[in-house]
Structure formats: structure tokens, C-alpha cells
């Protein structure tokens, strides 16, 4: 079962002080407070280049991420530019490609005595599914897979080098892909600048990478250690959507995200100075006992399930339909094709911060998958 490292602080005053880069950032922990702050962009602003993701990324990227580091009305206009690509997850051809991809990788896993899920299963799913979303050749996934789990820590060619090259090619020979759309898009009556294009592309590649990878590996680990839940899903295929939402709640990969207070602000008795940061504790809010009964239990039929794993309010995650598609098709395939999941080795990915320690996905997960039908 997932553990909640924020319970005591949430029950006390709903705030946990998190030191980052010289700032003592109050993390908002309670579900109601997180949702309220998410909607109040005037008080808790996202118009803060390089300060929304925590820890900050000044040394890892050179561009402002769009549209996440903007407020309305700029955010609204920026979001409309790329929204059509993120809605591709609802198209029948994209759904069929994701189904085929997952079945292909399961067949590969069945042919082996064991498989390492993080790098040999979840990473290829994320990388290849991203090419479907962006409408680029699937062969590009070989590059994405070679980067490993964390795109900001790549040896050799950097993410920004790749994105810049892709935009150059699209500008010279535009097609129907994501990069071409950026080179041809307009904003407030003018073309996008190269910096804006890079800001969109940077977030697209960084925002949905380790999040999806950790979610996939966490689900497989859970079904391997709780085989009764695999049987429950097999017996009730109509419950897969509810189960997917519960997995998103329980295995939230993004612990928190920052906001900046333009003026001095009181946050539950904690004074935030002008231009100081707070953070929205997504993972803590997902375990709020006032909202979720027995939050540390994974309940596949939990309903209602108002988790905040895709954010809340203005910045609701653009990639939510894509993530839901992958998890839905993964669960569908596991229940149809897999009779048992045996965990051979599991090394948790542990998020070490001075204020908290949190298990968050896996660095390594070796499993054996038994097929329901002879291969």
C-alpha cells in the first residue's frame, strides 16, 4: 500500500515548510486548500518563469515552459495552440496504436523469463505513445528511449538540441506534426517566437515522461503484490476506468508544484513575502482523510474520487487524456492477457527532500509475466 509522508503535517495545520534554494516554501497539504489555491491565480501566480516546477530548473533548461508558466488570459491563448494535439488521444487510430503497442510489448515480456519494467516496458510505451500524440514518425521514439527516464539529464545531445533541430526541419518542410504546427501557429496576431515554440516543446517532453513511466511501473507492482486486485479487474472489466483513477490518486508521481505570491500573503498563518513561493501539494491532497476514506488503501472501486493528480482549475493537465488512454489500455491488456505477475526485484525511487522522504515509483522493477494463453 502507498504510504503518506504528509499525514501529520496535514492534520496539524495543513502546511509543511520545504526549504529549496534559499527559500522556505510552505507546501499546502489539504485537499480543499490545494483546490482553492489552484483556482486563485491572482494570489498564487504561475506567471513565474523557472519557478513553477520544484525544485527549480534554471540550470536544466533555458526557456520558459508554456503554457504552464503563465496566467490567464495569456494561458488561455497559449493553451489553445497545442490543445488539438493532446486531444488526439481520443482518436480511434491513436487508441488502436496504443492498444497494439502494449500488446506487442506484453508479447515480448511473455517470451522472456523476466523483464525490467521501468526501462524495458514503461519507457518504450511512453516514448512510442508520444510519437502518436505528436504525429511524428514512430522511429523518433528510438531517440526518446535512448534518453532514459529523465530528459533533463541526458548525456550527449540535450533535449533542447533535439527540439531546436526538430523545429528547424519543420520550418523548412512543414507537415501535420506537432513541431510544424508550432512553426505555423500565431499568437495575438503574430507568429510564435522560437523561444515560445521551445517553451511548448520543452514542457511536452518533460511534463509527461517520468510521470507516466512511474505510474505504469507502480500499477504493475501493485497488481503483482496484490494479485487479488488483478482478479477483481478481470472479473469486472467495466470497472477499469474507476480503477485507473484510483491508481492515479494513489501513485501520484508529481509531489507538488510551485506558485508565486505577487504580494505578501498569509497562508494558514505562514507569511509569504512578496515574490515568495508556495507549493501545491498534489500528493498530500490525494491522501486527505477528510475527502478519501482509508486513503492509504488502494480501492479499485473508489467513487467519488476527486483526486488532483492532473491538477485543478486553470492549469488542468493537457496530457490527462493521453495518460488515461495509456493506463486504460494497459489495464485492459493485463486483465485479458496476464494470468499472474511475479515480482523478482523492486527498487523504489525515493524522493529525498529535507522536509520529507517519499517513495515515488521505481528505479528498477523486475517481474515475470505469465500469459493466460499459450504463446
Mean pLDDT of the chain: 95
- 373 versus 117: the higher-pLDDT residue is 117
Please give the domain boundaries of the chain with CATH numbers for all domains: 7-150+202-371 (1.10.630.10)
Q: Is the pLDDT of residue 60 over 80?
A: no
Span 338-348, mean pLDDT?
A: 98
Give the side-chain half-sphere CA count within 13 A for 18.
28
- Name the pLDDT band for 375 (thresholds 50, 70, 90): low
- Does 73 sit behind a cis peptide bond, omega within 30 degrees of 0 on the bond before it? yes
CA dist 69 → 10, 52, 296, 311, 312 (Å): 27, 6, 32, 14, 15
Express each pLDDT in 105-164 by its tens digit. 999 999 999 999 999 999 999 999 999 999 999 999 999 999 988 777 666 668 999 999
Express each pLDDT in 159-205 by its tens digit. 999 999 999 999 999 999 999 999 999 999 999 999 999 999 999 99
pTM over 0.85: yes
Express each pLDDT in 282-327 by its tens digit. 999 999 999 999 999 999 999 999 999 999 999 999 999 999 999 9
- Name the pLDDT band for 57 (thresholds 50, 70, 90): confident
CA 273: distance to chain centroid? 30
Q: What are the grid coordinates assigned to 97, written together?
A: 496504436
* β-bridge partners, 188: none
Percent of the chain with pLDDT over 70: 98
- 210 versus 124: the higher-pLDDT residue is 124
pLDDT at 373: 85
Amino acid at each position: 500500500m502507498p504510504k503518506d509522508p504528509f499525514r501529520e503535517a496535514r492534520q496539524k495545520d495543513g502546511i509543511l515548510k520545504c526549504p529549496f534554494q534559499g527559500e522556505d516554501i510552505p507546501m499546502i497539504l489539504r485537499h480543499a486548500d490545494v483546490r482553492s489555491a489552484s483556482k486563485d491565480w491572482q494570489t498564487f501566480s504561475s506567471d513565474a518563469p523557472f519557478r513553477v516546477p520544484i525544485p527549480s530548473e534554471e540550470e536544466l533548461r533555458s526557456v520558459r515552459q508554456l503554457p504552464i508558466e503563465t496566467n490567464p488570459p495569456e494561458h488561455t491563448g497559449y493553451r489553445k495552440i497545442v490543445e488539438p494535439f493532446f486531444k488526439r488521444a481520443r482518436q480511434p487510430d491513436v487508441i488502436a496504436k496504443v492498444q497494439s503497442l502494449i500488446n506487442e510489448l506484453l508479447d515480448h515480456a511473455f517470451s522472456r523469463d523476466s523483464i525490467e519494467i521501468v526501462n524495458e516496458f514503461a519507457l518504450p510505451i511512453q516514448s512510442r505513445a508520444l510519437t502518436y500524440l505528436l504525429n511524428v514518425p514512430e522511429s523518433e521514439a528510438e531517440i526518446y528511449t535512448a534518453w532514459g527516464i529523465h530528459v533533463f539529464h541526458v548525456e550527449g545531445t540535450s533535449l533542447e538540441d533535439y527540439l531546436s533541430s526538430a523545429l528547424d526541419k519543420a520550418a523548412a518542410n512543414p507537415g501535420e506534426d506537432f513541431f510544424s504546427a508550432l512553426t505555423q501557429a500565431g499568437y495575438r496576431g503574430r507568429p510564435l517566437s522560437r523561444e515560445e515554440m521551445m517553451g511548448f516543446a520543452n514542457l511536452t517532453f518533460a511534463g509527461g515522461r517520468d510521470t507516466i513511466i512511474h505510474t505504469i511501473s507502480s500499477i504493475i507492482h501493485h497488481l503483482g503484490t496484490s494479485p487479488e486486485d488483478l482478479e477483481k479487474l478481470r472479473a469486472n472489466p467495466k470497472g477499469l476506468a474507476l480503477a485507473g483513477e484510483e491508481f492515479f490518486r494513489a501513485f501520484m508521481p508529481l509531489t507538488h508544484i510551485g506558485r508565486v505570491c505577487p504580494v505578501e500573503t498569509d497562508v494558514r498563518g505562514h507569511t509569504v513575502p512578496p515574490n515568495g513561493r508556495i507549493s501545491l501539494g498534489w500528493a498530500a491532497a490525494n491522501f486527505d482523510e477528510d475527502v478519501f476514506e482509508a486513503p492509504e488503501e488502494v480501492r479499485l472501486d473508489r467513487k467519488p474520487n476527486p483526486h488532483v493528480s492532473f491538477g485543478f482549475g486553470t492549469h488542468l493537465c493537457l496530457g490527462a487524456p493521453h495518460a488515461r488512454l495509456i493506463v486504460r489500455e494497459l489495464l485492459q491488456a493485463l486483465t485479458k492477457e496476464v494470468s499472474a505477475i511475479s515480482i523478482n526485484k523492486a527498487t523504489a525511487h525515493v524522493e529525498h527532500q529535507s522536509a520529507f522522504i517519499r517513495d515515488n515509483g521505481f528505479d528498477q522493477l523486475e517481474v515475470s509475466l505469465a500469459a493466460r494463453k499459450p504463446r
